[in-house]
Amino acid sequence: MSTRWLTQPERGNRALIRLITWMTLRLGRPVTRCFLYPICLYFVLFSGGTQRISRDYLRRILGRPPHWRDVFRHYHAFASTIHDRVYLLSGRHGYFDIHIEGATTLQTVLQQKRGCILLGSHLGSFEVLRAHGLFAQQLPISVVMHEAAASNLNAVLHSLHPEIRERIIPPGTANTMLAVKERLDRGELIGILGDRVLGDERTTTCEFLGEPRLFPEGPFLLAGLLQVPIVMFFGLYQGGKQYDIHFELLTSSISLNRDRRSEELRPWIERYVSRLEHYCRLSPYNWFNFYDMPDDVGSSPSHV
């Protein structure tokens, strides 16, 4: 299974990221947002690979050939959420207008003290949920994530609130499952993005925006093995200072038969992909997976 997104060079100089972060904290978000326009224009003109992926996605979600202004808007939405991470991770989350739908869904799950998997995606901002949960609600949220793909960016932004780094669980190590289980047993939340394949994990093919794409079984298998609920979340950037966070219960539990795991996981994965597509159509410029999503053409099954 392709992990090319892990090895592609990061397009972001650490010194420049540090400078923009410093200016944002000193001069304020409204002033430094002006820098996003030339940055996005640069990427529209010179990022051939990501522009191709953006255009392909926009063609499918908009139902028409995208104009360069659509690509610019797509990049600008992405750059805005990255820029907002400076405020979010420095504890200034109160600056934003955050609207939450489905909060009672998450509260009901938390009251069971079983722990919970928060299943997200590269749609919108995960950081708005993490910052709001950690700082405003004091929710114990850890995240399973690769930092290597954006090491310069993460190094600068996580330094704004060092405790954040302690709540990052690297995937694919001998201690990953143990760390996840320990935190779930304490009734904590584990955030996982369910739309990108990692290494040789088993996958399921689902139709996404009219084309077959491979989605990982890992988050669903993890929930089944540890018998914890899955709550889907989508943190959508709506422009300006506004974010909408949506919670939906995917399942309270997944029953697994060792010989029929893929068959039993498929309905839950398809449900997740269906809701992911729904929110993509709701906020089409929020899709920030600027890497080729693998399809099942020429792919062989992978195993956990």
166, part of any domain = yes
Count other Cβ atoms within 10 Å, centred on residue 230: 26
Query: Across the strands, what pairs with 99?
Result: 244
Query: Across the strands, what pairs with 189?
Result: 116, 141
118, part of any domain = yes
* DSSP conformation class of 172: T
149, part of any domain = yes
293, part of any domain = no
- CA neighbor of 99 nearest in space, from 4, 216, 287, 236: 236
pLDDT in tens, the chain (304 residues): 344 434 444 455 778 888 889 999 999 999 999 999 999 999 999 988 899 999 999 999 999 999 999 999 999 999 999 999 999 888 888 899 999 999 899 889 888 888 999 999 999 998 898 887 766 667 888 999 876 555 677 777 777 777 777 788 888 777 888 999 999 999 999 999 999 887 778 899 999 999 999 999 999 999 999 999 999 999 999 999 999 999 999 999 898 887 788 889 999 999 999 999 999 999 999 999 887 777 755 443 333 3
60, part of any domain = yes
297, part of any domain = no
- CA neighbor of 280 nearest in space, from 126, 123, 72, 129: 123
CA distance 47 to 40: 10
Two tokens, residue 141 = 């949220």
Q: Provide Rg for the chain, Cα atoms.
A: 19
φ, ψ dihedrals at 210, nearest 5°: 85, 0
Task: Please tell me the total count of domains within the chain.
Answer: 1
301, part of any domain = no
**Residue 250 near residue 119 (C-beta atoms within 8 A):** yes
Residues in contact with 202: Cβ distance below 8 Å, sequence separation at least 6, in sequence order: 216, 217, 218, 221, 261, 262, 301, 302, 303, 304
- The range of the structural domain enclosing residue 52 comes to 4-286
280, part of any domain = yes
